Chains A and B, each alone.
Chain A
Amino acid sequence: MFKSFTFSSSPLKSKSLKNKTYNRKKVVTVFFICFMAFLVLSGRLVYLMVFRSDYYSEQARQLHERERSIKAARGRIIDANGTVIADNRTVCTISVIYNQVTDREEVISILCDELSLTEEFVRKRVEKYSAIERIRSNVDKETGDRIRDYNLDGVKVDEDYKRYYPYGELASKVLGFTGGDNQGIIGLEVIYEEYLKGKEGTILTVTDAKGVELDAEGEDRIDPVSGNDLFISMDMNIQSYATQLAAQVMETKQAESVSILVMNPQNGEILALVDVPEFDLNDPFALPADVDADTMPQKEVQDMLNNIWRNSCINDTYEPGSAFKIFTAAAGLEAGVVSVHDGFSCPGYVMVEDRRIRCHKTIGHGHQDFTQAVMNSCNPVFVTVGLRLGVDNFYNYYQQFGILDKTGIDLPGEAGTIMHKKENMKAVELATAAFGQSFQITPVQMAATASAVVNGGNRVTPHFAVRSVSRSGEAAQSFSFPVSENILSAETSETMRMILEQVVENGTGRNGYVEGQRIGGKTATSETLPRGRGRYIASYIGFAPADDPQVLALAIVNHPQGVYYGGQVAAPVIRQLFENILPYLEKIDYNVK
C-alpha cells in the first residue's frame, strides 16, 4: 500500500558509501561480543538455577509460608481419687471471612440468634471489609457445633482449648490457673508447666506478600501433642471438708483468714491445703465487688490480685509460738539436756540476764515434770531447756532439721525463714526462740518440722506431685522428693509422740481430742507484731494415730475476734477434721454390720 506513495530518496552522499568488508567484519565482531555476553549470563543462570536452587528455594519457602500454631491440650490435674480437678474445655471462636460470605443477611440473623448478640454488633463486623473478622471467642462447643451445622459460607468455627476447673474455688491457691496462652501463672500450673503444657502443633499455609492465605497451595499440618496429666496427692474430699471447716471458723471467729494444711508425715504428701478466702479459678481476675477497677491504677489492681492469689501457708511467714516447742523439746531430749521426768518449778516468770520473761500463766505452774511442762506449754521451762542447749547446739539443730532452709515444696514463691544470725543470738534471743517467738517461719515449714519430729526422725519434703502420665497412658514418670533420714533418733521421736499425745489427752490440746482415736498435738497462740494491739494468731498442730502418725494437720486462724487461744479456736477445727477424715482414711465402711 505504501508503494503508491512517492518518497524521494534524496541523492545524498551517503547513498554512494558502500558497506565495506571491514564494516561487515566489525558487525560480526559485535555479534560475537553479544554472543559471549549471553554465554556468560547463561552460565550465571545455570549456577543460580541448578547449584543455588536449593538455597534460594528454601529462602523463598520461608518467605511464603506462614505458621499458625494449634494449641495443645494442656495435661489434666488429677487428685488422689482419680478425680479430674483441672481440665480443658473445648471452646470455639466464630469469625467471618468477608470475601466468602454469600448471604450476609442470613449470616447476621443466625449469628445474632445463636450468640445472643445485638444485630448492630454483628452487622458491623459481618459488613466490615477485612480478611477475617472475629465475632466472638470462648463460645461453648455446643453452640459452635450448631453454627457449623448451618454450613454458612464464610463463617469459620475454630476450636480451641480453655482451662476449666470443675471445683471452682477449691484448692485455688494450690492449683493455680493459666493465662491467655494456656501457660501456668501460679500454683502447680506454673511449677509443672513443662509436664502439663504439651507441644503446640502448626499449620503451614502459603500466603502472598500481604499475608493473604492462598487456598490453592493447600496446607501442611503438624499435630499438637497433649500435655501430660499430673496426678497429685491432694484428696478433694478432704480438701473440700477442710475448706468448709476453715470457712466456718473464719465466719464464727470473724477471722481475717484461716489456713489448714493436711499432710502425710511419713512421706510428705499433702492431702489438703486450704487458705480461705480462696478465689474462683475460672475467673481469677475478678476483683471484690466494692472495688472499681476502672478508676484504680493498673499497679494497684495487680497488687490487689497478687494478694488475692497469695497462699499464706507458703508465701508468708508467722511466729509459730508454742507449736515450736515441739522442736525445742525434741532438741533438748536428743541432746540429753533434759529428760521426761526432770522436775521443774514455774513461778510464773523466768529471769534471763536482766529480762523477766513471763509465763502465760502469770501465777505460775508450780512444780511439774518435763512432760507436764509440755502439756502446760510452760514458757519458763522451755527457756531453761533452750539455755541449757546453748546457742551453738540450738543452731546446730536448726540446721539439722532444715529449719533455716526452705522446705522445697512444689509450689512457687516459698518464703524463707526469718531468723537471728548466729552471731547476734544472745541469751535473750535464745530464750524467746525456745518458745517460738522472735523469729518467723512459714506454716508449711512448721508442719514439715513437726512431721520430722513425730515420724521417727526423717525430714520429708512436703509435696503434691505423685506422677505424670501422658494422655495415651504410657510414659508415666513418678516424682521423688528428697528425704533427710535420722535428723532425730527414733527413740526421741517416740518420746515426743508420747508427750504430745499427753498434751491432747490431758493438757492444753484437750479440744483436739477425738473419741476413740489416739491423737497427738500442740497448741499455739502468738501475738502478731507489733505487740500490744490485741491481734493474735491461734494455731494447732495435730496428728493421728499418736503411736504411728499417718496424718498430720495444722490449722492457723489469723486475727480471731474474742477468744484467741489456739486450744480453743484452732484445736476444735482439727478435731472436727479428724473426726471425719480418720474413718475415711481408714476406709471404714459404716454400712457393713
Chain B
Amino acid sequence: MARKKEETFFDYTLLFITLFLLAFGLIMIYSVSSYEASLQYGDAAYFLRSQVFATIIGLAAMIFVANVPYHFWERFAVLGFIVSIVLILLIIPFGVERGGAKRWLYIGNTSLQPAEVAKLAMILFLASMICKMGKGIRSGKGFLTVLAVPVPICLMVWQITENMSSAIIILGIAVLMLFVSSPEYKRFILLGLGGVAVAVTAVFVIVNVADSDAVGFRGGRILAWLDPEAYASSTGFQTLQGLYAIGSGGILGKGLGQSMQKLGFLPEAQNDMIFSIICEELGLFGALATIMMFLLLIWRFMIIANNSADLFGALLVVGVMSHIAIQVILNIAVVTNTIPNTGISLPFISSGGSSVMFLLIEIGLVLSVAKGIRLKNL
C-alpha cells in the first residue's frame, strides 16, 4: 500500500451495513406495527414516526462521535461508570413502569433505559482499565479484578430494573473484552464450562420441581421453553405465537406486509419478536439474509479491531462487537425457542428509541477507531 500516512480512512462498508440494517428495520417496523397503530391511534405510521425520529438523532450522534478521536472519551471512563450507576439508582424513585417492568427514566418526553447507558459505559470503562493494567491482566489477580468490575452493575441492572437479559449482556461484554485482552485460554474454557454447568443444573432443578408453586417467574419461562404448547395460554403464549409466525413463513414467506400474526396475535411483535415476523413475511431466505447482514457487521468489527492503531481502540470495537453479537444471537435464539424466553431486542431492527440511539453512538465510536487506522499497516 503506497498511500500517504495522512490520508484519512473512513469505513464506508460498516456505514452502509448499518444504514441498510436501519432502513430494513424501519420497513419492518412499519409493516409490523401499521395495523395495530391505525386501530389504536388512527395513524398507521405512529410507531414508524417515533422510530424515524430516534434514528435521525442517533445518526447525528453517530456522525459527531465518529469525528471525535476516540481517545477523547477515555477521560470520561470513570465518570461514565459512575453516571450509569446513578442512573440505575434513580430508577428506584423515578422509574416508570411499562409492560410490567420498571426500566425507564423520563426526561421531558424522551425515555431512557439506564441499562443502555450502562452497556456503553461498561465498554468504555473496561477498555480504559485494561489498557491501564498493561501486563497485569495476565495474572490471576488481574483476571479476577476485570471479572469483578461488571458484577455490581449486573446485579443492579438485574435486581433494580428487573432486566436479566441486559445484565447477561453486560456480563457477556465484559467476559469477551477480557478474553480478547488476555493471552489465556484455559481460564475462559473453565469459565465457560462453569457457566454451562450452572445453567444445566438450574434447568434440571426447575424441571424436577415443576409441579410445585416454588417455580416462580423465571422457572415458569424455563418450563415453557421445554414445552411451549403445554403452557400455551400462560408463559408459553408469546413463544408459541412466535413459532406459529416463523413456521408459517416457510421457505419464501408470505410476502412483505402479509403477516397474519402481527394482527394482534403476537405480543411485542414490533419489539422483541420482530424477527419472527421477518420470518413470516420474508421466509427462510429473508431470515438468513438478515443473519448474513449481522454476520457481515460483526466481520467488519473484527477487521477494524484487528487493524486498530492501539489496544484501546481494539477493545472499544471488541466491546461494541460483543454487545451487538450477543444481542443478535440471544434475540434470535429466544424467538426460535432455542433458549428460554427473555426480553431482548434485535439491534437496529426492533422498535425502541433509546436502544437505536445508543447503538448508533457505539457505531460512531467504531467508525472513529476505523478512522485512526494507519493505512500503511493494511
Contacts and interface: CB of A to CB of B under 8 A. Distances in A.
Contacts, number: 171
A224 to B, nearest CB: 28
A13 B287 CA distance: 45
Nearest to A48: B246
A210 to B, nearest CB: 6
B85 interface: no
Q: Chain B interface mostly helix, strand, loop or mixed?
A: helix
Given A15-B312, A17-B311, A44-B336, A34 B295 contact: yes
Task: Choose among B134, B182, B329 the residue with the greatest number of A CB atoms under 10 Å from its CB.
Answer: B329
Interface string B163-183: 000000000000010011111
- Chain A interface SS verdict (over half): helix
A12 B311 CA distance: 12
A209 B265 contact: yes
A30 B318 contact: yes
Contact of B283 (A30, A38, A41, A49): A49
A219 to B, nearest CB: 15
B247 interface: yes
A46 interface: yes
A48 B336 contact: yes
Interface in B246-304: 246-251, 260-261, 263-265, 279, 283-284, 287-288, 291, 294-295, 298-299, 302
Given A1-B67, A14-B128, A31-B302, A209 B263 contact: yes
25 contacts: A2-B67, A9-B72, A10-B71, A13-B134, A17-B131, A17-B134, A19-B314, A22-B183, A23-B181, A23-B314, A24-B306, A27-B180, A30-B179, A30-B325, A34-B298, A38-B295, A40-B338, A41-B333, A45-B279, A49-B250, A50-B284, A57-B248, A59-B247, A208-B263, A214-B263
Given A13-B132, A53-B250, A208-B35, A28 B72 contact: no
B123 interface: no
B116 interface: no
Max count, chain B CB within 10 A of own CB: residue among A15, A27, A57? A27
A42 interface: yes
Interface residues of A, number: 54
Contacts of B35: 208
A57 B245 CA distance: 8
Contact of A19 (B291, B294, B306): B306
B176 A30 contact: yes
Interface string A98-113: 0000000000000000
A35 B325 CA distance: 10
Contacts of B9: none
Given A30-B176, A46-B284, 19 more contacts: A5-B68, A7-B72, A13-B134, A14-B131, A23-B311, A24-B305, A27-B305, A27-B318, A27-B321, A31-B302, A34-B329, A37-B325, A38-B295, A41-B332, A49-B246, A52-B247, A53-B248, A57-B248, A209-B264
A225 B142 CA distance: 82
A214 B257 CA distance: 14
A55 interface: yes
A52 B250 CA distance: 9
Interface of B: 35, 64, 67-69, 71-72, 74-75, 128, 131-132, 134, 176, 179-183, 243-251, 260-261, 263-265, 279, 283-284, 287-288, 291, 294-295, 298-299, 302, 305-306, 308-314, 318, 321-322, 325, 329, 332-333, 336, 338
Contact of A26 (B69, B179, B265, B310): B179
A24 B243 CA distance: 39
A210 B35 CA distance: 12
Contacts of B180: 23, 26-27, 30
